[in-house]
Structure 1
């Protein structure tokens, strides 16, 4: 790798609906400032589940930090696994109001993105390949912890977390922030879209959130490796 560190911008969402503590932001708060040759810019404030704020904050953060990679993290309450999402849709945000009971109408879409904007935008990362490296990273960390505690490799406690490829980010705030960042990132990078959205399952307590942090760090390592 170059001696110039890779800069990874990471964001997480705040409270919404019945979720008073959002694990996505709790994980972001726990991230270290760096890994080897990787600077981690953990945005210190939770992202609001409000459409118009997302349309403002995502471009602003990308312009401010000029990251090499952007990683947005959000909660998927119905899932029991971690999922890296491949792409984001432009449309559909008129169906589900945000936390201010506002929507993005079809007319709004044309005003914001333009009539010729893409209906769906994919990350430049091949996430199916990234997920395989992500799994390997997690298995290595899990095995190292088991050896450190002199426990058998098969110990259930050290089975790596369930991480998967997905292409179903949805048409609520997760999808909108992903689409917005994909558009913004491509403007200053010659069309590259080094942006990923990670859905995390419900997590509670220090041990689960620490596990979530390890999952995110292993994903960051896999994303950085894919750039080499």
Structure 2
């Protein structure tokens, strides 16, 4: 049976604060040049650093593309590695966005679960990517920072029942180039798709009997 092309959506963020050039969007554009192989339809989007825009754009992407996976990429000024985030958090959003706004409830989805984990086993992805000999170090985190990155991740996880991922990258040149980040994203997302497919294969096998 021939498989169709799998839609995958990858987002980066626009400028904010001291990040006049957002490394996440630069890295995503590098990934777009590299692609994810012939059987993946890659769609990339730049998301503004605004809570309300995130809340309208992310559900729209799921509706438009019915993607197999959505990967959000954000920059962290404190990061010195490429970080795979395991979960998104619902509460604690007090930082003002680019339009000087923050949610009155300080939460993402009122009444939603406190945390949502990605269905992707980030430890497995991290281990696999670390054996590929990339010139980039990949690590794991359970705290995406309670700002737009975490907010977008939770919004996406809630929308997709966990079929989302979040990757934090350091600012450009601290220490990685745009090309290094693009190649790292390519390797990470290919492994994520593989891990996702295998875990779903097991689920489908159970359902078929």
Same fold (TM over 0.5): yes
How far has the Cα of 1:78 moved from its partner? 1.1
Matches within 5 A, 1:209-228: 209-226=178-195, 227-228=197-198
Post-superposition shift, 1:80? 0.7
TM-score of the superposition, structure 1-length normalised? 0.79
Unaligned runs of 5+ in 1: 143-159, 187-192
Matched, 1:120 2:115: yes
Deviations 1:75-127 (A, max 9, x none): 0011111000000110001x211111111122x74xx7343x20111101111
Once superposed, which parts of structure 1, at least 4 consecutive aligned residues long, lie more than 4 Å away?
none
Q: Distance in 1 between matches of 2:110 and 2:194?
A: 34
Q: Give TM-score, length-normalised by structure 2.
A: 0.86
Task: Kindly report the root-mean-square deviation, in angstroms, between the aligned alpha carbons of the 2 structures.
Answer: 1.9
Task: Check conservation: 2:118, 2:164, Cα contact below 8 A.
Answer: yes
Shift of 1:6: 2.5
SS in 2 for 1:41: strand
Please tell me whether Structure 1 or Structure 2 has the larger radius of gyration of its CA atoms.
1
State how far apart, in whole Å, the 2-side matches of 1:26 and 1:2 are. 34
Secondary structure at 1:113's aligned position in 2? coil
Runs of 5+ unmatched residues, structure 2 = 199-209
Partners in 2 of 1:121 and 1:2 — Cα distance?
34
